[in-house]
Structure 1
Amino acid sequence: MLPNGWEWCKLEDIVSFGGGKTPAMDNKEYWHNGNHLWVTSKDMKCSHITNSLMKITDKALEIMTIYERGTLLVVTRSGILRHTLPISILETPATVNQDLKAISPHIKDLSEYLYIVIKANEHFILKEYHKDGTTVDSIDFDKFKCLPIPLAPITEQRRIIAETKHWFTLIEQINQDKSDLQTIINQIKNKILSLAIHGKLVPQDPNDEPASELLKRINPKAEITCDNAQYRKIPKNWCACKLVDICSFLSRGKSPKYSEEDKTYPVFAQKCNLKDGGVSLEQAKFLDPSTINKWNEVYKLQTGDILVNSTGTGTVGRTRLFNTNCLGNYPFVVPDSHVSVVRVLKSICPQYVYAYISSDSIQRYMEENLAGSTNQKELYIGVLENMHIFLPPLAEQYRIVAKIEKLFSSLNNIQKALEV
């Protein structure tokens, strides 16, 4: 039931539709020194258009349509349709590619009102108008053209637009505040790790066995540094040594032969070190069973192993702590050659070493010592072996880890609350 003065109509009754295409990318006549904006699905970011648009030439415009300011653009075919329906209103004239539809209201004043109506029906459109049998997410455009539109009187449309803009502004401010707070939380976490690895997070206990004595006992061959001027700022009972000196295993994985059929033995790859934290074998490939004998027992990942992505711009240096809980029913998992494994000696707390390697200063150290080309950065195992680590007494290592976990737990609760 609509209010008095309102009417139902179909979208196609009050607009005209248009589309676009991609001019041949190898034709310089279409692209060189272009001055007409060209919008693609990748430029559509939920409710706005990016500023970094490509431009086509007058020559390309001969085979294209340019849409005027106030035209609505809707993505109807793209992988980004899974969660949102990207839609925006053109601020300046532009052309579009084949993944977008242009909606030109017969009355220009309808643009903002139609934007609100379509945005309000986003979930309905994605669910009910989804086109099955396509390789990418698509909207059945014939159905979309018949979207029911509750058409309000023009004066009421203006009031609705004004009120909606007011609330949209508040929502955008809240989202920005949440984003700013997320940034601050990450900065606090980095500061906590920095304090931890410099002996400033928990008080020292003079009765603790000095780290140098611990290291002599577990690795008599270790090169221990206590009085070097570079390390004088660390607490008295701490010492500095190389990472390799406190490890029972420090190595990259191997290049596996994969099986397309057998799903018994997963291989841990960089994508298993999840971007948002933790590890998962959901995206793991599987080892050819005939090659199992080539993998020594030492390569089977253990709880407490520290896994470091060691190739690839954007992922190299990502560090996660492994736990066999993620194996489920798998008997074991081995790392591929793009992941380095840091397995510390039994008398060293792996969670402390994980926190150390995760800290900003050590992440910078790894980044500054990468090798390879821009597109394929490499973290050689020697960089990890020679990494200097500030080692506290064993008891303090565990006190530090307990404090980090307590503080991070409180910060994580705040982050979860921000996601609601």
Structure 2
Amino acid sequence: MPFEVPSGWVWTTIEEICSKIGSGSTPRGSNYSANGIPFFRSQNVYNDRLVYDDIKYISEEVHQKMKGTEVLANDLLLNITGGSLGRCAVVPTDFNCGNVSQHVCIMRSVLVEPEYFHALVLSSFFAKSMKITGSGREGLPKYNLEQMGFPLPPLAEQQRIVAEIERWFALIDRTEQDKTDLQTFIAQTKSKVLDLAIHGKLVPQDPTDEPAIELLKRINPDFTPCDNGHYENLPFPIPRNWAWVRHNDILEISGGAQPAKLHFSSELHPNYIRLYQIRDYGDNPCPVYIPLEMASKRTQRGDILLARYGGSLGKVFRAEDGAYNVAMAKIIFKYDSLLDIDFAYYLYLSKLYQGKLQEVSRTAQAGFNANDFNDLYFPIPPLHEQRRIVEKIRTVYHVIDKITEEL
């Protein structure tokens, strides 16, 4: 016996508690129909349910010829070959009719709660007990399945076990949902902080600050800034000492480049440099390095990188010393002392930039180019206020993160 069971339980085998154990078959010539009787293959069997995506159908005539593979309500369907071997689902009680392929085994229990049987099949004990055969496409032979040990409680205790499992799983699901809701709330809160910041409502204005428009004129006497009096359809009102500025008038987007993959290395060698790739985004990026002489597009620590396309489109990245690839764009400041780089970073995280991306990104792969931001405007506060805003954002974010850690 694999382990001792409580008094009132008994060790038996899967063969002893089933009236049917058997896999299905595939209709001759894959004789599927446009509709009719559902035909379940291994890709339709998951641990929590039967999945009807990509379901096939057979005709009533074919179904009658395959009566030995017919599925009934409360059957357990177990994948017995390939990469999904071990996945198992309970057929719902309201199930009507269906058949299975040769890669799926029907287990029809007698006086055993299907959900208890299901829990046992999904347990680590069952996974460790399976005697798999085959060196190519692995499989679980019928005889090996039949002889597997089965710890059988009294029927009433099976029902209590199932009820307890469902109670704990429901609690886990609620906890996971609460965690998801909390993460959503945190993201919304941080977004609201940025929204207040770019509207000039996060910190009070200081009348002694040099107005942004004066700073602009002092940096470039020929510069013509936008403001609420000269341009219509600007995103929103801003404080008097702020100024609206076109993105492309003050910032430049520089696309990346990279050598062929044969030059990539997973280790840092002398005269090699980190290459930032789109697949590296995340909390635990996987570094890729290239020879220093091949780094045609370089970054310095603190540079702002924007993801241009793919699943990371919209992410904003602060670089280390390194290089950046074609999936990224580096932000270049056209004027010194106009924008605090940390303030610019938060501008790109805000709804102003993120919302614009939704308008201009034609497809996930096409992404954006510099011309897409000709009509993107940024609100520019006085330089000292930019730094106060950055400090306030960091303070609020720190408090939020601290609370999150303590939950």
TM category, shorter: 0.7 to 0.9
Distance 1:116 1:198 in 2: 55
Amino acid in structure 2 at the alignment position of 1:191: K
SS in 2 for 1:250: strand
Aligned partner of 2:240 in structure 1 is 236
Structure 2 counterpart of 1:269, from 263, 277, 281: 277
Instruction: Give yes or no for contact 1:208–1:393 (8 Å, CA) kept in 2.
Output: yes
Question: Mapping of 1:62-211 within 5 angstroms?
Answer: 65-74=69-78, 87-91=88-92, 92=95, 93-95=97-99, 101-107=104-110, 109-119=112-122, 121-122=123-124, 148-211=149-212
Amino acid in structure 2 at the alignment position of 1:175: E
Relative distance call for 1:356 and 1:146 in structure 2 (3 A) is farther
SS in 1 for 2:366: strand
Aligned partner of 1:280 in structure 2 is 285
Amino acid in structure 1 at the alignment position of 2:176: N
Deviations 1:55-100 (A, max 9, x none): 323287668944322222455677789xxx75431213545567x6
Deviations 1:380-413 (A, max 9, x none): 2222465211112222222222333333334445
TM-score by length of 2: 0.77
Relative distance call for 1:237 and 1:13 in structure 2 (3 A) is farther
Q: CA deviation at 1:336?
A: 1.9
Instruction: Give yes or no for contact 2:273–2:295 (8 Å, CA) kept in 1.
Output: no
Amino acid in structure 1 at the alignment position of 2:303: D
Relative distance call for 1:295 and 1:375 in structure 2 (3 A) is closer
Structure 1 counterpart of 2:354, from 354, 358, 363: 363
SS in 1 for 2:226: coil
Aligned partner of 1:257 in structure 2 is 260
RMSD (Å), alpha carbons: 4.0
Relative distance call for 1:261 and 1:177 in structure 2 (3 A) is closer
Relative distance call for 1:362 and 1:125 in structure 2 (3 A) is farther
Q: CA deviation at 1:39?
A: 5.2
SS in 1 for 2:306: strand
Aligned partner of 1:33 in structure 2 is 35
Bigger radius of gyration among the two: 2
Amino acid in structure 1 at the alignment position of 2:370: I
Show structure 1 runs of 5+ residues with no match: 325-331
Amino acid in structure 1 at the alignment position of 2:298: K
> Are 1:304 and 2:302 counterparts?
yes
Question: Mapping of 1:2-21 within 5 angstroms?
Answer: 2-15=5-18, 17-19=21-23
SS in 1 for 2:159: helix
Q: CA deviation at 1:266?
A: 4.1
Deviations 1:301-342 (A, max 9, x none): 222222222233x443x2222242xxxxxxx53222221112
Instruction: Give yes or no for contact 2:316–2:345 (8 Å, CA) kept in 1.
Output: yes
Q: CA deviation at 1:148?
A: 4.1
Distance 1:186 1:43 in 2: 35
Instruction: Give yes or no for contact 2:303–2:330 (8 Å, CA) kept in 1.
Output: yes
Relative distance call for 1:13 and 1:305 in structure 2 (3 A) is farther
Distance 1:131 1:199 in 2: 66
> Are 1:321 and 2:317 counterparts?
yes
Question: Mapping of 1:338-417 within 5 angstroms?
Answer: 338-344=327-333, 347=337, 348-371=339-362, 374=363, 376-384=365-373, 386-413=375-402
Instruction: Give yes or no for contact 2:41–2:101 (8 Å, CA) kept in 1.
Output: yes
Instruction: Give yes or no for contact 1:35–1:57 (8 Å, CA) kept in 2.
Output: yes
Instruction: Give yes or no for contact 2:246–2:378 (8 Å, CA) kept in 1.
Output: yes
Show structure 2 runs of 5+ residues with no match: 267-271
Relative distance call for 1:177 and 1:386 in structure 2 (3 A) is same
SS in 1 for 2:257: coil
Aligned residue pairs, count:
386
